Structure 1
Amino acid sequence: MSLDDTLRVAGLVEDSIVDGDGFRFTIFVQGCKRRCPNCQNPETQPLEGGHEETLAALLQKIRQNPLLTGVTFSGGEPFLQCAPLAKLAKEIHAMGLDIWSYSGYTLEELRARHDEATDALLAEVDVLVDGAYIEELRDLTLHFRGSSNQRVIDMNATRKQGKVVLLYED
């Protein structure tokens, strides 16, 4: 895989403070099969929408902001584009930035795929916000998530301890 590989993108936010800790570059990927009722980003659901960006072009945009603390993958569903995101995440880590990713799937569902690309992306994620958005469990007081079933998982501590470690236990 090269930096000429592409990612289907719905949009970019180059200076977010709401998509994870710190000052972040957020990539909203295109495509999601979950179709959660009252999704925050319904325009990102169609698989054929958005536009393609090369990994090199995305990295160039990320490098333009020296104030960034990290990059967030949101969507849509990032785990529908695991291979290019894993490659991108590796390059972002080499820049000294952290990776947050949102997913409508739980960590357990992602691990159960037993898929090389999914595993590669999970290995690069520092913080995973997992679980489908459930309108009945909506809670605006939660850190970086919309419903109480969702978890903000410290993936580095989770890998080290061999069990799920939450970053926030609101």
Structure 2
Amino acid sequence: MSVKQRGPKNPAPQEWRSENLSQGYIADYKPFNFVDGEGVRCSLYVSGCLFACPGCYNRVAQNFRYGRPYTRELEDQIIADLGQSYVQGLTLLGGEPFLNTKTCLSLVNRIRATYGATKDIWAWTGYTWEELMQESADKRELLAKIDILVDGRFMQAQMDLTLQFRGSANQRIIDVAKSLATQKPVIWAKLVH
């Protein structure tokens, strides 16, 4: 008799509300890295995720109170770090950015006010594009202000370490502006594998 493997949790539309879950904590901030998207990036790892994907590479950040509180001082530092000419943009990871919209929107709005579209914004999420289209206004607002979305839960059975910027074959790298314009997911033009 085989044991059925547990998969990630699957929320109903608008079941998980950021305002009820987020504690305003971050797990980590990593400036000037090369692994969380294209080019040199500043990466903010927010705390808290309910998907609980088996095999999650950042399981400790599933706790909404892990790490330290997000502060204005940290936001100032991120804005300053992004000002370096060699930095291409910001990456939001977690945890789950779309369950931490207050923190993420504060930063994203400030980046857009300071740098316009000269710095790109990537986000990783356990939600699929189709799920985000049915989500709350704050999640859709955050989505509309980012450039690239890596969507979908990590699926251990589909893990592939050769994939570009993602861990399992079900995940997609989506061009947000093109997808919003066509109302369907459009894969990032620079996808290699």
Q: TM-score, normalised by structure 1?
A: 0.89
User: Does the CA contact (< 8 Å) of 1:138 and 1:146 recur in 2?
Assistant: yes
Correspondence list, 1:124-139, <5 A: 124-139=145-160
2:181 maps to a residue whose letter is: K
Report SS of the residue matched to 1:28. strand
Would you say 1:82 and 2:101 are equivalent positions?
yes
1:127 maps to a residue whose letter is: I
Matched residue count: 164
Q: TM-score, normalised by structure 2?
A: 0.79
Cα distance in structure 1, aligned partners of 2:103 and 2:64: 16
Would you say 1:35 and 2:52 are equivalent positions?
yes
User: Does the CA contact (< 8 Å) of 2:41 and 2:89 recur in 1?
Assistant: yes
State the percentage of identical aligned residues.
Answer: 37
Report SS of the residue matched to 1:64. helix
Correspondence list, 1:1-170, <5 A: 7-55=24-72, 57-64=74-81, 66=84, 67-94=86-113, 95=115, 96-113=118-135, 115-167=136-188, 168=191, 170=193
Cα distance in structure 2, aligned partners of 1:164 and 1:61: 29
User: Does the CA contact (< 8 Å) of 1:82 and 1:118 recur in 2?
Assistant: yes
Cα distance in structure 2, aligned partners of 1:156 and 1:75: 22
Superposed CA RMSD in Å reads 1.6
Displacement, 1:162?
Answer: 2.5
Question: Cα 1:13–1:45, aligned 2, differ >3 Å: closer, same or farther?
Answer: same
In terms of mean alpha carbon deviation, does 89-98 or 120-129 score higher? 89-98
Displacement, 1:61?
Answer: 3.1
Larger Rg: 2
1:30-65 deviation digits (Å, cap 9, x = unpaired): 011111111010110112211112245323334135
For structure 2, the 5+ residue unaligned runs are 1-22
1:103-152 deviation digits (Å, cap 9, x = unpaired): 01111112212x12111101111000000001110111111000000000
User: Does the CA contact (< 8 Å) of 1:7 and 1:52 recur in 2?
Assistant: yes
Cα distance in structure 2, aligned partners of 1:156 and 1:129: 14
